[in-house]
Amino acid sequence: MSSEATKMAFDLSEWRERFIRSVLRIASVLGVILISVSFPTSSVKDRILFLILYTILVVITILQTPYLVRAYLLLFISGIIGLNAILAWGPWADGNIFLLATVILASLLLDNKTDLAILSASMLMIASLGLLTVTGIYRLPADGIPATTFAGWGVYLADFAVIGILLVAAANMLKNAFAGSVSQMQAANQSLATERQSLEETVRERTSELEMHAFQLRAATSTARSIAETQDISELLKKAAHLISERFEYYHVGVFILDSQRNMAYLQASSSEAGKALMGQAYRVDTDRRHPLARAIETKEACIISDHDRPHFYQDAYFPLTRSRMTIPLSVRGSLIGILDVHSDQPHAFSPEDAEILQTLADLTAISFDNVRLLEETRSLLSQVEAGSTYQTRTTWSKFTSRQKNAYLYTPAGVRPIFARDKTGRENDGLLIPIVLHGQAIGQIKLKRKGSSNKWLDRERDLVGKIANQVALALDNSRLVDEAQKNALRNQMITNFSTFVRETLDVEAVARSAASELRKVFDLKEAEILIGFAQSGSPTAGSNRVSKS
């Protein structure tokens, strides 16, 4: 029972302790008044008796005496006062009030039928005193007391018995009802305490589950971040298997990748040594429909099995410690690309909430896998394009520079072309900066300072490098303009020739015009057109030859 329930429970012993303390204090205060009132008219014997009883009352009120001692002494004091009053005054005094008070106090302060015993003893004492008084054996000491008869003592005894029995019965009924109420209250408190304990246990379980889910979410977030930062497919799959196993405390995690027909699954990553021994092996999906991998591929949903469900549990010989297993599909844009295989050595280790978290993590892994794959394909295409561009640049500029003046020198006299390379071994004098276009060096810039100093600062080298880049772009633009002009001339020639062909029907005139246009466009020494060929490909004897020199 909790502390609050204990405080709410009624304690009869504590109530009786508080009650007797209150009665003793009240009696100690009122006792002084009663003694003061009765002391002048009392005999010496009564005075001594009252003082002794009051002293006992004060002592048990002040001192910390045991409860039973105080209870019995209080009953003794009340009973002696009542008995003394009856012995002195008979049924005409207030002794019966003290005796009835003794019976009521006994009912409230004590159990074990003490109130009935005191009531019976009081009735027996009254009957004996009445008998002794009527027979003359005992004479009441007080003067002026009317004579009593058997009838008088009988009525007195009957009245006392009826009132005493009613009081005892009422007190016992009240105690029983009170005890029943206390028992019900205690039972209700106990029920509340039990229910509260159950609720607290439920709250602790829920809190533990929430903490576990929060831990899993944090683990999933950090795992997804680490996986997303990886730019290599093989490393990505290894990191996914290792991080899921480590942060979710699963003893084996494997990643299978499917082929294009989804008939074969290849183990590409594993977190355990047993799984690493199976790396690269292929598993045929459609061989066993009971296998969790096949079920996950077929349903495209997470599959959870446990060894407690023996008819549906698939025991893998390579993983004998597995007691719970979950296979999760890896999907990208609705297309299944693989399976995440998770093993635990604990029974019922996977819940639907775990499956939801791991499914989200599997989706993120699949998306990262596909992004890295696309990135690698893009890099490969860019590499191919760059290689092609480099080759094209080298070929184009090799042809271009073969028919152009490829070097110029600035001197105080001006800029002049260089027709021969320097063979004196001074190529390395000064600052040499390559002119790079599309990763291919198409030339270089050579600078020499005036005087003997030949030291160049980094910022100067950087500036010359930027100028070299601009020169490379300008040269390439110039080459493209030159090629565009030549293409324009060719196109003009073709257009002119086409126009002439459409305007004349003379074959010889067409041939003469074609030869003339070809010589002009290509700056040829001679252009010759032969018309008429045999099947062997050589000119026939009757063929026409048109030439232009």
Report CA torsion sign: 173, 179, 181, 187: negative
Listed as own residue / partner, the contacts of 479-486 with beta carbons closer than 8 Å and 24 or more positions apart are 479/396, 479/397, 479/400
pLDDT in tens, 272-316: 888 888 887 777 776 666 788 888 888 888 888 888 776 667 778
pTM over 0.85: no
pLDDT at residue 59, as a whole number: 92
Task: Provide the CATH number for the domain around residue 309.
Answer: 3.30.450.40
Shared domain check, 534 and 422: no
Of 226-240, 279-293, 368-382, give the lowest mean pLDDT range.
279-293
45 inside domain? yes
Of 237-241, 416-420, 467-471, 485-489, give the lowest mean pLDDT range.
416-420
Shared domain check, 415 and 355: no
Last residue of a domain, one of 486, 517, 540: 486
Note whether 239 and 230 are within 8 A (CB). Answer: yes
Shared domain check, 27 and 165: yes
228 inside domain? no
pLDDT in tens, 70-111: 999 999 998 888 888 888 887 777 788 888 888 888 888 887
Distance CA 86, CA 80 (A): 10
Instruction: Examine the pLDDT at 534 and tell me if it is beyond 50.
Output: no
Shared domain check, 91 and 16: yes
Shared domain check, 466 and 508: no
pLDDT at residue 333, as a whole number: 83
CA 511 from centre of chain = 87
Q: Which domain holds residue 514?
A: 504-548
pLDDT at residue 346, as a whole number: 87
Last residue of a domain, one of 486, 515, 536: 486
- Strand pairing partners for 273? none
CA 501 from centre of chain = 84
Mean pLDDT of 456-471: 84
* Of 451 and 44, more confident: 44
Shared domain check, 115 and 16: yes
Shared domain check, 418 and 352: no
Shared domain check, 411 and 352: no
Report CA torsion sign: 525, 530, 535, 540: negative
pLDDT in tens, 153-172: 888 888 888 988 898 888 88
Last residue of a domain, one of 133, 159, 193: 193
491 inside domain? no
Instruction: Examine the pLDDT at 386 and tell me if it is beyond 80.
Output: no
- What's the distance, Cα to Cα, between the start and end of the chain in Å? 124
DSSP reduced 3-state for 341: strand
Shared domain check, 345 and 289: yes
Note whether 450 and 398 are within 8 A (CB). Answer: no
Shared domain check, 457 and 532: no
How much helix, strand and coil, in percent to the nearest 5, is found in the chain? 60, 15, 25
Shared domain check, 54 and 146: yes
Please return the burial class of 541, using the count of CB atoms within 10 Å of its CB with bins 0-12, 13-18 and 19+.
Answer: exposed
Instruction: Examine the pLDDT at 143 and tell me if it is beyond 70.
Output: no
The number of folded domains in the chain is: 4
pLDDT in tens, 345-373: 888 888 888 888 888 888 888 888 888 88
pLDDT at residue 416, as a whole number: 67
Shared domain check, 175 and 43: yes
230 inside domain? no
pLDDT grade for 423, boundaries at 50, 70 and 90: low
393 inside domain? no
Mean pLDDT of 422-449: 72
pLDDT at residue 136, as a whole number: 80
